[in-house]
Amino acid sequence: MKKLMFLAVLVAIMCSCNSNKFKVSGTVDGAGDTTTLFLETSINGNWLFVDSVVTNGGKFSFSEDAPENPNIYRLGYRDKSIYFPIDSVDNIEIKTSIKKFDEEYTLSGSDNAVKMMNIDKKSAVFAKNGDTSSDDYVKWKDQLSRDLVKDPSGILAFYLINKYIGDKPLFDPLDKKDFKIIGAVTNAFANFRPNDPRTGYMVDNFKQGLSQRRSETGDTIVATQASLIDIKLQDKKGKMQSLQEVSSHGNVVILNFTMQSQSFSPSLNRLLNEVYTKNKAKGLEIFQVCLDDNEAQWMQAVATLPWIVMRDPNGEYSTNAGAYNITSLPTVFIIGRNGEIVERVANIEQLEASVAKYL
């Protein structure tokens, strides 16, 4: 009886271990018994070999350990590849042919795999025709953008903001609208997937894009009438606050990046309180973003502050701070009644005079 119990437990453990796998299988028409296919995975812009198989009558199968985080994989034959996402223990089926390996193929097994297939096939048509400025392309990209922002921390969002159509990025950091999309995805990963190995890679790319924009277009956050990059964080009461929402009501908004744990914090808060008390009735709001690591100490420090105050859990690695090119603390911006940044305050001691210009 004890032996049977032991065997039952052993079998259960073995089944549990073996079940933590994903599978990629299918058929390749025209493939012989010596056709080699290979499986690769994406690691922050690089492709790493996972395994290879030789087809048997055109059939093939891979079984690999499920990734800790959703990731992009590709099935390759010579210089051609079919791309698909793996979430966890997906069972992906691919049907294709030797002659049209990466063109006339079908994917099944997950909704994201089907979506990626449709995206890649459509983008291949645009790349082949070279019509990335056509009305059809613009409409297609607009729809992708709308779908993307519904799930900005998803694997498809990551894939899209890193995808190229021919030699042109699908989402170009030099395009203001595209850059907002890139920022939204980067921020979502930083907030909801801080331990994902892609997050640091995306933050670095975002900062590089910011520098590129500044050098090639002169579009800097210091400029008058600069467009807002939204910030969404929970305030001290747990309510989600959006900078764009707060700035859309016709008020003048002070945007402050700071750390409550620093020695300058008490004097800064006194100054902010003076300006806020005098001008709140005139339509002044304060949106304070804190980069403190210790949440308990931060909560104690902001308990009595009367304005909107939030803590970015990513601290010094905050993509919000990166988006605004924060190189020192405290940093203060003024957002005008039209919802656009009108000034980066050089001398915080002159904050009241700076605010008065826009009230």
DSSP secondary structure letters along 145-185? HHHHHHSTTSHHHHHHHT-EETTEESS-TTSHHHHHHHHHH
Q: Decide if pLDDT at 15 tops 70.
A: no
Side-chain half-sphere of 149: how many Cα atoms within 13 Å? 14
Q: Which two tokens stand for residue 48?
A: 């790493």
Per-residue model confidence as pLDDT tens digits over 42-75: 887 788 999 999 999 999 999 999 998 899 999 9
Q: Decide if pLDDT at 213 tops 80.
A: no
* DSSP-derived secondary structure letter, 56: B
Which residues 6+ apart lie within 8 Å of 356 measured at CB?
279
* Of 327, 319, 324, nearest in space to 341 by CA: 324
Q: Decide if pLDDT at 94 tops 90.
A: yes
SS3 259: coil
Q: What is the pLDDT of residue 140?
A: 94
Query: Residue 214: pLDDT band by 50, 70, 90 thresholds?
Result: low
Can you tell me the distance from the alpha carbon of 41 to that of 201, in angstroms, rounded to the nearest whole number? 16
135-150 and 111-129 helices, crossing angle to 10°? 160
Q: Decide if pLDDT at 121 tops 90.
A: yes
